[in-house]
Amino acid sequence: MIGLAPYVNLVLTWILFLALFPISFIWMRRSWRILVRRDMSEVALKRGEPAPRPQKYAAVCGVLNLLSGLVLLYVIAGVAWGSLAYDTWTALAGITIWTKLCLDFAISRQAHGFSSGAKRSA
């Protein structure tokens, strides 16, 4: 069983690298839709619903998606050309993905306002 450890690491590395392609594509497409096409249906989503005033948060969401997508494209190019070391590109990819997810969560909660989740009866 100990002999499988290098292969597990190799497989997980390939999964991370191959996952960068669709992630960066989706984030770049979202930034295009928000910033260029002015499609507010993907701004500050909470449970699939856009914010009540999405135009207020459109620039922030669009720039966040654009920067995150560009960093992942830089990582993909760096790995393909061999200019980024393993520790560097995995750190860049991981930090970018987690930061983008946390900031998206914070923006969506800010845009939708506070609700305790309990339904009030009149």
CA atoms within 13 A on the CB side of 45: 11
Report the distance separating Cα 89 and Cα 93, nearest Å.
Answer: 6
What is the full per-residue pLDDT of the chain (122 aa) written as tens digits?
Answer: 567 777 888 888 899 999 999 999 999 999 999 999 998 888 887 888 878 888 888 999 999 999 999 999 999 999 999 899 999 999 999 999 999 999 999 998 888 877 666 665 65
Torsion of Cα atoms, 20 then 62 then 95 then 48, to 10°: -80
Name the burial class of residue 81, with classes exposed (0-12), middle (13-18) and buried (19+) by CB atoms within 10 angstroms of its CB. exposed
Report the distance separating Cα 88 and Cα 61, nearest Å.
Answer: 26
Domain boundaries, the chain: 2-112
What does pTM read for this prediction? 0.83
